[in-house]
Chains A and B, each alone.
Chain A
Amino acid sequence: MLITGIKSKPVYAPLQPDLRGRYHLMVGHGVGGEPLLRVLGDLQTAAPSSGAHTQILYVTDAAAADSITGQIRAAKVANVRLFERGDELLAAFQAVLAGSLMGTRLYVAGPESFMGLVMRIALQFNLNKDEIRAEECGTLARRVYCIHCCSATENVRTNITQCGCGRWLVVRDHYSRRLAAYMGVMVDAEAPGELPPVKEVFL
């Protein structure tokens, strides 16, 4: 009983360089490093001088090969910053946006829940669809917001999950950009303890 077909589910596509941009800001997490390197290569081929206006913020994690991290560290761009944790990157990302000018394009790649957190900050800076390219890769694990206790659970891979408040939630496709999470709704409200089969669906 996964509730699907809801339009708010974000749409992602393979990263393409946007040559109309003057500044390029690339943000990635773990396996997102590969698509970032790919789009960086495409950008530098099409616009060889773009490196001077390109910055990369990247979270290294175990899911990504060391060679990717090495290549990102060595990228010929104005600024590369590596982070060990997502929240460190998000704080730095926010500071970079605060000092950025119109003409900036954002490229984001990583697991979906990371992308959601990045997008939420981008939204605060009024970045629109035509300024953002996003490619989801790696795990589809979701960040789930419990509509009953208002807390979020990270890395949910199953259709049904237990929130910290003890409630069993069904994970909907209804996504909130403001909360950067999918909505979780109590599944056994009518018949407490009666759960539909729990399946791994967000892999």
Chain B
Amino acid sequence: MNHADTIVVRVVAIEQVTPQIKHFTLAPAAGGNFPAFSGGSHIIVVMRGVNRIHRNPYSLMSSPGQLETYEVSVRRMEQSRGGSHFMHDQVQVGNELEIAHPVNLFPLDKIARKHLLIAGGIGITPFMAQLADLRTAGVPYELHYATRSPEHCAFGGLLSEREPGRVQKYYDCTGELIDFEGLLSNQPLGTHVYVCGPAPMIEKVVATARERGWPDSHIHWEQFSAPPVGDAFDVYLARSSLKVHVVPDQSLLESIEAAGVEVPYLCRGGVCGFCRTKVVEVDGTLVHNDHFLSDEEKASGKTIMPCVSRARCSKLVLDL
């Protein structure tokens, strides 16, 4: 996916749903309907700041059956490199933004006999659209949703209303924890588990499911990493004969794009593998932050996912 095929959208509503989460409703600026999508899809929102372009992935939350608008929720990240702050502080109703077409890296299994959804905090977002699909699918499902407190439980009321008896909420403040062991020990054959939330939650669910004998083909997780802040370094693009400086709060991918070189991407969160780039030379260490490369590939130092990874070095040479 590249930058040419974006859709210009107008922000038609903004709602503060929790102290940290804002919910945005977008409509195509040119009128008409958005492209169809399936639950679990995300879009990349392109934000043109004063001297920076941010491109952040957000899960679509609206119902796939309704294409007049798309909805996304954005959590204000404490250590934002700007994208979430831009959405929270700059974007107003009536503004225009660009988005890339939806891509689904977290689809529901089509022949599952039961769906078990587990969400933590902002990880509820991909499930909102999946639930819209599930309500009409006729396959059993249940959602377990953990948040800090009722105040932080985005869409909690809406979920209880739409999914009577199928949603269970857990609040950290009252010490309620999801019983992963119990939950994953008693599911009928043909169940698929989906988890989206903070990294420790995903790790716990995946490890517990495996330990309870679940095969990998029934375990699904989604976690978009935000590119972490790191040290500044220089990158040389061998084929383009360019030298690019990467500042601490800009990702490698963003820096390369700012220099006018395009790298294919889908997720910008270290998940899809599209931005995979060959490393020609590095005089220090690569800092891998993706969930795509295997441990061996990371250790070999031959490839890097520039959307989330960087280097601790003075010189990195990439095959771009």
Our verdict on whether A and B bind, yes or no, reads yes
A residues whose Cβ falls under 8 Å from a Cβ of B: 20-23, 97, 100-105, 125-131
Q: From residue 100 to 121 of chain B, which have CB atoms closer than 8 A to chain A? A: 109, 111-113
Tell me if A127 and B190 are in contact (CB < 8 A). Answer: yes
State whether A102 and B188 are in contact (beta carbons under 8 Å apart), knowing that A20-B210, A125-B113, A126-B112 are contacts in the complex: yes
B4 at the A/B interface (Cβ < 8 Å)?
Answer: no
B216 at the A/B interface (Cβ < 8 Å)?
Answer: yes
| Total contacting residues, chain B, CB less than 8 A | 21
A-B contact count (CB 8 A): 53
What CA separation (Å) do A105 and B113 show in the bound complex? 17
How many whole Å from A37's CB to the nearest CB in chain B?
23
Tell me if A101 and B215 are in contact (CB < 8 A). Answer: no
How many whole Å from A127's CB to the nearest CB in chain B?
7
Tell me if B217 and A101 are in contact (CB < 8 A). Answer: no
B residues whose Cβ falls under 8 Å from a Cβ of A: 109, 111-113, 184-192, 210, 212-218
Q: Which of B111, B190, B212 has the most CB of A within 10 A?
A: B190
* Neighbouring B residues of A125 by C-beta, 8 Å: 113, 189-190
What CA separation (Å) do A45 and B289 show in the bound complex? 41
Tell me if A102 and B217 are in contact (CB < 8 A). Answer: no
Instruction: Name 27 A/B residue pairs within 8 A (Cβ), A-sorted.
Output: A20-B215, A22-B212, A22-B213, A23-B213, A100-B188, A101-B185, A102-B184, A102-B188, A102-B189, A102-B190, A102-B191, A102-B212, A102-B214, A102-B218, A104-B213, A105-B213, A125-B190, A126-B111, A126-B112, A126-B113, A126-B190, A126-B192, A127-B189, A128-B215, A129-B217, A130-B217, A131-B217
* Neighbouring B residues of A128 by C-beta, 8 Å: 215, 217-218
What CA separation (Å) do A129 and B216 show in the bound complex? 10
What CA separation (Å) do A55 and B160 show in the bound complex? 41
Tell me if A103 and B112 are in contact (CB < 8 A). Answer: no
Residue from B109, B112, B189, B192 in contact with A101 in the complex, judged by beta carbons closer than 8 Å: B189
What CA separation (Å) do A130 and B216 show in the bound complex? 8
Q: Which of B109, B215, B218 has the most CB of A within 10 A?
A: B215
